[in-house]
Structure 1
Amino acid sequence: MITLIGKELAKEGVSFVFYGAAEECSDCRFKASCVDSLKEGHRYTITEVRDVEQKCPIHECEKVKVVVVENGEFTILTDSKGIFEGSSFDFNRKGCSNKDCDFRDMCFPEGISKEEKGFYVKDLGKFKDCPRGNSLEKCIVKIHD
């Protein structure tokens, strides 16, 4: 998928979460190719940076570059049932009352919403440090397009 991103951020391998379009974007002639193809709240990774630049008043150096992005990968902690590399999953983590847990961002990662569908890229093995004693598996996952 092609989009535009601030010139300073346009580097292969950079991941970002799209939080929605700025107010100034509503009248921009590049809106369709810049923000309309992105889904709010999702993480993307830049896979290619092209040599095309455009002016954009909302970015630091007032320039954006054309980039190719794909859905980003996440390292997550999940219930240890049914994890096979390449298999699909529904991300439907149940709530956890431990708001101060050091690992909370892996159980509820930013950029992936509840009931999202994706697939397991890699199983990183059992995770034994859950303060609640839950049986968890550490995995790399990717969301379907």
Structure 2
Amino acid sequence: MTITLVGEKLAKPGVEFIYYGPADPCKSCRLARVCVGNLEPGRRYKVVRVRNIEHSCPLHEGKVRVVEVIEPAIEVAIEPRVAIVGSKIKLSFVECNDPEKQSLTRPEGLFEGDIVKILEISDDFECDEKHYKVARVMREKE
């Protein structure tokens, strides 16, 4: 669980967002360490709890709220030979030339080389005449 700050409109349990890095005003903000300092650029986060603490912010229509976030499970296409529920693997993105399938072949929030735990296998996936499995995975933090 990570503590951070999000704009008031995003401060609802279940809301997911991808953190792309700090904006210019964040670099000199006194709250930057707890706000953007706890997040990793390119990762997906899900709000699980909203605390009753708010602060002013020039970027988020005046206010941010303190929230608890987690990295949610993400669906990704993987090689069938490593598709074993409960196992931990080093993520290797599959090759697929169809840009419409990028959300499964290179989902935002995961990086090549991440260590992930396979939570479930939900579907089969085909691209460029190759067969893969769709797995819900959770990134394992070092």
Q: TM-score, normalised by structure 1?
A: 0.90
Q: Give the secondary structure class of the aligned counterpart of 1:39.
A: coil
Cross-structure match for 1:76: 76
Distance 1:94 1:77 in 2: 7
* Structure 1 residue ranges (4+ consecutive) displaced by more than 4 angstroms after TM superposition: none
Distance 1:142 1:131 in 2: 23
Q: Pick the structure with more helix per residue.
A: 2
* 1:90 and 2:86 matched: no
Q: Give the secondary structure class of the aligned counterpart of 1:103.
A: helix
**Superposed CA RMSD:** 1.4
Q: Give the secondary structure class of the aligned counterpart of 1:32.
A: helix
Distance 2:94 2:119 in 1: 22
Deviates more, 1:1-10 or 1:107-116: 107-116
Distance 2:95 2:123 in 1: 22
Q: Give the secondary structure class of the aligned counterpart of 2:81.
A: coil
Note the 1:7-86 alignment, pairs <5 A.
7-59=8-60, 61-86=61-86
Consecutive unaligned residues in structure 2, runs of 5 or more: none
Cross-structure match for 2:111: 113
The CA deviation at 1:94 is 4.3
- How many residues align structurally? 140
Q: Give the secondary structure class of the aligned counterpart of 2:138.
A: strand
* 1:142 and 2:141 matched: no
Q: TM-score, normalised by structure 2?
A: 0.91
Cross-structure match for 2:3: 2
- Say whether the 8 Å CA contact 1:19–1:41 is kept in structure 2: yes
Look up the equivalent residue of 2:136 and give its one-letter code: I
Look up the equivalent residue of 1:103 and give its one-letter code: K
Give identity over the alignment, percent. Answer: 30
The CA deviation at 1:131 is 3.7
The CA deviation at 1:99 is 4.3
Q: Structure 1 pair 123/95, CA: closer, same or farther in 2 (3 Å)?
A: closer
- Say whether the 8 Å CA contact 2:98–2:127 is kept in structure 1: no
